[in-house]
Chain A
Amino acid sequence: MRFTTSMAIVLALLMTGANAGSQTQRRVVRVSAERFAFTPSQIVVDAGEEIEMRVSSDDTAHGFRITGTSVNVVIPKRGRGEVSVTFRAPEPGRYVFECTRMCGAGHHFMRGELLVRNPSASQSRK
């Protein structure tokens, strides 16, 4: 009984630790969308890093897609909250994110860049 209890405590600590670990590693990036720009329009992350993007709009509904990933969501209109996307940063490289919902004359200007770095290379630079 005592052994079982101690195992349960160890398990609980493990789970808590795992949760805490994922929370501390997750990076939250806030992105604002407005005809016809995302701010920021360039986001730099490390490969493998867990990213939570919280995207909101200052006007109409926009789309938000990161090419080369499966991230593809609709950003609700102003005053209707934000959309949250959690994903793990892919292989190092440059990934375009863009509006996928026609939002006006400058729709195709609405593009940004997710710059994914090699974490070892970025650490060596530090």
Chain B
Amino acid sequence: MKFDGSICLAGFLCLVSIQASAQTPIVDASAPTTGPISGYMDFHFNKGEAEDGVLDFHRFVLIVNHSFSPRIRFVAELELEHAFVEGLEERGELELEQAYVDFLLTRSFNVRAGMLLVPMGIINERHEPPVYMGVERPFVDTFIIPTTWFENGAGVFGEVGRGFRYRAYVMAPLNALEFSADEGIRNGRQKGSRSDVRNVAYAGRAEYVAVPGLTLGASAWSGKSSFLAPRLDVKVRVGEADVRYRRNRLELRGEFAQVWIDDAERLNLTVGQLTGVQPNIARTLRGFYAEGAYRVWQRGAGKDVVGFARYENFDTQFRMPSGYIPLKEFDRDAWIAGAAYYPDPDIAVKVDYVWQRNKSSVIIAPNGLNIGIGWWF
């Protein structure tokens, strides 16, 4: 009887131990972490047709973060572009691309304030080198959406339901007096440096991420941008839609973006009077691209190669104000084809070739070879 009792006790203990192991969550506190500093780097070789090759340490980015509490957190991103700063943008830039405090309240409603990335397009908020194809960022995300677009502001973000995400910010506007024919609104970014907020801009983005592998996004930006010339009424609007889809080895991306500039005729006159140079600013800019990528070698770490091709069409002179003729060399399109090898998922060794064309019969858009290595840590 004593023997039988011990068997029963052993059985009971077995059951308890099974139950206990099922209730105990796995805690892996010893796993490696990035620590308070992380970041990414971009090192490039660019060789345009009939030009000398250039070696450029394009981006050196450090990201720091700190949690004041589980609900109040700080993130900053400091970027050195082109390795050397001499006071002029042509040599290099030191930029505070992000520096904000998040107040994490609920899943559906959180508050953010500081230096913010404008929630616009695929690349502006998601620009770590291993996550996009090609050595350089897409042309549309450079000439139509002025990536990296960052500005002082505050706003809210969150996710509602099953996979509907949003961001809505109030930010400092663009400076329309710096717009140009070739780079559109890019030079109008105030970059958070004593930004003039006589007027403010509103930026928002909605995303749907509930379906595995699929991200649908749409973004909008609107702001009166003529604070240095108050008699003008240069309201600028940017609209954008994008899609990313990944299934097995295949990844597809597409993006469309358009910029509308009100009162562009008087803006051209004013800039011409101030600078003595006719800027030929368009009233509408437009760009789009489609990209397909395929993981041709997928055998785990160190055996990982993706090939891709992308077509881009971008025109910073798409619609002109009355009396202005578009400069055809800025109506451009490009094919980019290349590959990325990942010795580690956080390191991308990239090579691509760019075939560029424009509508000008005089000025030829140069083709180019790009080789780069980018890494996240």
Contact = CB atoms under 8 A, between A and B. Distances in A.
Interface string B15-36: 1001100111111110111100
Contact of B27 (A3, A73, A79, A106): A73
Contacts of B376: 60, 104
Interface in A72-111: 72-74, 77-80, 83-88, 94, 96, 100-102, 104-109, 111
Nearest to A31: B212
Contacts of A3: 4
Contacts of B344: 77
Given A19-B18, A60-B345, A79-B345, A42 B117 contact: no
A39 B34 contact: no
A69 B4 contact: no
B75 A108 contact: yes
Given A72-B29, A102-B63, A87 B128 contact: no
Q: For chain A, which range describes its interface: under 10, 10 to 19, 20 to 34, or 35 or more residues?
A: 35 or more
Given A74-B28, A105-B117, A15 B15 contact: yes
A102 B32 CA distance: 12
Contact of A22 (B18, B63, B130, B301): B18
B15 A58 contact: no
Nearest to B33: A101
Interface in A46-72: 50, 57-61, 63, 67, 69-72
Contacts of B210: 39-41
Contact of A105 (B10, B18, B125): B125
A78 B213 CA distance: 14
Interface string B111-136: 01000010000000111101100000
A14 interface: yes
